[in-house]
Structure 1
């Protein structure tokens, strides 16, 4: 529960049709098992106490009485379970029979949610037995099974389709329930639930299995969780139900904001688990102006909600294996390839549109032999191919100076020639040395002046060649460098169109690797693979023994850590302590806690002090959900104070 994380579970118990005691035994056993796995919200299928497929037995008073008795027993025998449990049963209320979802915790039934949308596919379906609970609102009285053990033998539970189950120990956790068909209609009750603050929807279901239905069901759950920016737990009936006419597969699902976190194997009873980040969901809703809550929608929706409270002991959810250390990079190879191609097309299309708009047929790019300029050149080539313009109108400029190594120089030259672009070399040693004399700088002092003079000289050359050619300068700097301010102001920081500005360093690597794997040209692939194997460096300091002396990640920290910090800070607005906790889990075995904390401090310090560089970025295409463009993504003042964030980082103990 700490930091907004909570483990949840959807379970399909083994049931016997009409055998309430046996079914209750299984539910109780599984509830304790789920708690043992760390689950705090546990959801069982629709009508699971009786089984879903009882048919006309639902009219039998004996079955209904036993179902209610077993509900009380389940509540009492799970009283020691640290969690909120949902089970399904038929229940008579005010002379009508309803399909109910019961929320239980602390040994008692807290509330009952009736099903609203009752399917009537044929005369023997649910509408034969059950009434819609759309307008139900009242109370049901329960008696403890052994009233001598309690000071209050009777208690009441609210019955309403508009119930919110709220945890005081985790106020952002607000749980609401809907039942099976409720999700499949045009206007699901969960929409109203979410507008009234529910951050987690549970669905007690008994969806029969047909060919292809599982894919539709999965998409439905995923889409609803995305539309409502919520967690969604879907528990469905399975083996044990009657197979007289249909089969139930126990297809359980857990989703969060469009992502399916867990899915059961069909035709196998059991439980699936997932960890939801409730605070992340609440933060995302707060950012979305299109997500309106009850204050805005209550009158329009003509509904009100009652709140039911349940207690949870505060525990720390185990995140092992759940946090992706490379959030910008898809884990599945097939998805990664599709995503890489899409990103390259977004970058190239953005540049193509800019070139077409200004009637420009020439581009100039500084080619260093490093990853970023390599990607920028590949994108530029693709844009020119789209426009049908000869690649010879792309001028790749290599500008060796004090820190240039043979490896990067040769790779830059070979890459340009292999791609068919014009290669131009401008050695800037003499110009920079003259500049040092002009400003009175000792070239033996390898400070920031020494480094930035080279970067600005290169930018000036690129701009002037662009003037000669009637073209534009293509920027090469990436998102990770911009986040850290690892760019020379008015040097490599500036261009006329920056194609890499929203691509983080970890993703740059995969884009270049994807190009190497799919280009179909052996020579080009070999060059790209060697560039990938080259240490990241601005090459502004003289090499040692012919090798790169200035390695960026030795100075500012590993980019994979900084990309992780950046993603969770900007995309999900996570505070430093939470990011540190997630990073410890994500990078376990790669970086120790001291290293992670060291670079986390560096990240926050640089992020706040370097905003002035991001406030005047050139145009460039946005490719993902995290970007720092001052025009549409990061509206942050350049003089914003990072004291609060640094204070929290300084409080982190290891």
Structure 2
């Protein structure tokens, strides 16, 4: 459970109706299997000790006594297993019978949760046998001892305070105001649902959507354990559809009629972070009984999916839809800015690289949206010492195929004069040499925009802003930064998307060549016509920095946890020492370069991570990275 990862499972035992001893044996097998897999929390179906479909047998004392005896057996079995278990059975209290979830851990019964909402429609007839949960918590006597009993029990792990779970039962999820809503407001990060949901056409998809949506709405992990094989098929069939979701994403599932156990890891610290970040997620005074339990704080082997490129959907159709949505957001944002300013031209510095290409493509979308000619975009190429024929040629051909206004402004002479003016020694190739070129290009663009009555559209992307890989008051500055919240890994797919959808074969060819060109600012002289300054050799692979950026900013993960995820995700691609080196580089640059982000131009947010100083990220420019780097030094 280190780093907040809790391995959980939802499983369906193959039962025999009303045979409590047999069912307990099946449940025991699942418990031992779960423990062998490192599971810390196991959810089992509603009434699975007896079977959900017992009908009037629920009123037989023999069945109720058998259920209690089976529960005692399972609690005893759990004494040697490091996991918490929730199992369904009928329990009598006074003169009422309740459909219950018994929760136990390491040989101790922790509490009993009765079902709140009893369905009595369609194929369901629960009120014939059971009473709904009382409104207030009370106690129930089991084997001569009193235990917490009621709808508001919160089970809290001592070793991992973020791991708190609560239980609801089947219909409790399907009603307008479910008990889980109260549970999460009182601190539960995980909800267990013990269910007996029969299969009908279309119900599995609806169930999946319901579980996913509930986990998203409540910012929780949600375990749904469903009745299955062995239940009576007199009128109904149960498929054992088990689901585990976290904040809207289904992480594990056993589809109906497939059997088995759904197992994955929930990240309860990530859920806790999102709740803190989302200040509209309220807290309420705890009226639940808080029941502590103990589990060892061991390192959980990870099986849950961790995307190598978290900003980029893996599914091709989802990726295409994402690209289309981003381009639409960029176009809508730029259109509003153009209409508000009344600008006559858009001015973009084109280099033949990815970022300026995306800016041009987004600008074309904007002009098309407004019914304006492509010539209202002025694309400017500004060759200097490091410009290669390949990038210059690609910039020219791109603009030709798109029909935009195009201008070449040679800046070599003006930059050389500037270097003489400031006394830069000949042959000096430091920051002044590189940044002088970038600032000259920005000056040209700004002055052309003034001349044309236009707006300078910035091309820098989110990854560059995170690393500070931009010249202050050079390419760092514009009048509207259209790519400001798009990371480099996603920029590539946006350009690829436009290449794939164009009917112009020449445009497609040039876009694909731009994609194949090494990322470079081209501020150092070319050698034999080839690029000599490769960005990813200097600051590190963008796929790593985008991975770090996502997990550090989106979820607030600490350095050790980010490294652990990176080691698993990039196993075989980068050795640990390389990951550690570039992660240290990320933190050093991210902290030291905040001053550039503190004065960014406006630009549209397109995803869940943005570094706008007016919106998502407010950070002192002189904050220290010592804590973060020290944690990495201790690893």
TM range (shorter): over 0.9
Matched residue, 2:433: 450
Matched residue, 2:564: 581
The reply on whether 1:218 has 2:208 as its aligned counterpart is yes
Q: Given the two structures, how large is their TM-score scaled by the length of structure 2?
A: 0.98
The reply on whether 1:532 has 2:515 as its aligned counterpart is yes
Matched residue, 1:30: 30
Match of 1:293 among 276, 280, 283: 283
Matched residue, 2:505: 522
1:290-343 deviation digits (Å, cap 9, x = unpaired)? 111123xx5xxxxx1111122112221112563212111111111111111101
Q: How does 1:421-440 map to 2 (within 5 A)?
A: 421-440=404-423
Q: Quote how far apart the aligned CAs of 1:35 are.
A: 1.5
> Is contact 1:13–1:30 with CA below 8 Å preserved after alignment?
yes
> Is contact 1:7–1:39 with CA below 8 Å preserved after alignment?
yes
* C-alpha distance in 1 between matches for 2:625 and 2:539: 18
RMSD of the TM alignment (CA)? Answer: 1.2
The reply on whether 1:257 has 2:240 as its aligned counterpart is no
Q: Quote how far apart the aligned CAs of 1:142 are.
A: 3.2
Matched residue, 2:344: 361
The reply on whether 1:405 has 2:395 as its aligned counterpart is no
Matched residue, 2:553: 570
Matched residue, 1:625: 608
User: Residue 294 of structure 1 aligns to a residue in which SS?
Assistant: coil
The reply on whether 1:49 has 2:39 as its aligned counterpart is no
Structure 1: 4+ residue segments shifted above 3 A: none
Matched residue, 1:301: none
* C-alpha distance in 1 between matches for 2:464 and 2:138: 59
Q: Quote how far apart the aligned CAs of 1:123 are.
A: 9.0
* C-alpha distance in 1 between matches for 2:249 and 2:91: 34
> Is contact 2:264–2:303 with CA below 8 Å preserved after alignment?
no
> Is contact 2:215–2:221 with CA below 8 Å preserved after alignment?
yes
Number of positions where the alignment pairs a residue of Structure 1 with one of Structure 2? 635
> Is contact 1:516–1:524 with CA below 8 Å preserved after alignment?
yes
> Is contact 1:167–1:311 with CA below 8 Å preserved after alignment?
yes
Q: How does 1:448-527 map to 2 (within 5 A)?
A: 448-527=431-510
Matched residue, 2:163: 173
Unmatched 5+ stretches in structure 1: 144-153, 299-303
1:66-110 deviation digits (Å, cap 9, x = unpaired)? 001101101111221111111000110121000000111111221
User: Residue 378 of structure 1 aligns to a residue in which SS?
Assistant: helix
> Is contact 1:239–1:268 with CA below 8 Å preserved after alignment?
no
User: Residue 17 of structure 1 aligns to a residue in which SS?
Assistant: coil
* C-alpha distance in 1 between matches for 2:548 and 2:48: 44
1:14-33 deviation digits (Å, cap 9, x = unpaired)? 01111111111111001111
Q: How does 1:73-222 map to 2 (within 5 A)?
A: 73-121=73-121, 125-135=125-135, 137-143=137-143, 155-222=145-212
> Is contact 2:265–2:304 with CA below 8 Å preserved after alignment?
no
> Is contact 2:88–2:102 with CA below 8 Å preserved after alignment?
yes
> Is contact 1:235–1:251 with CA below 8 Å preserved after alignment?
yes
* C-alpha distance in 1 between matches for 2:179 and 2:303: 34
**Greater alpha carbon shift after TM alignment, 570-579 vs 265-274:** 265-274
User: Residue 8 of structure 2 aligns to a residue in which SS?
Assistant: strand
Q: Given the two structures, how large is their TM-score scaled by the length of structure 1?
A: 0.96
Unmatched 5+ stretches in structure 2: none
1:117-140 deviation digits (Å, cap 9, x = unpaired)? 011105961011110013253323
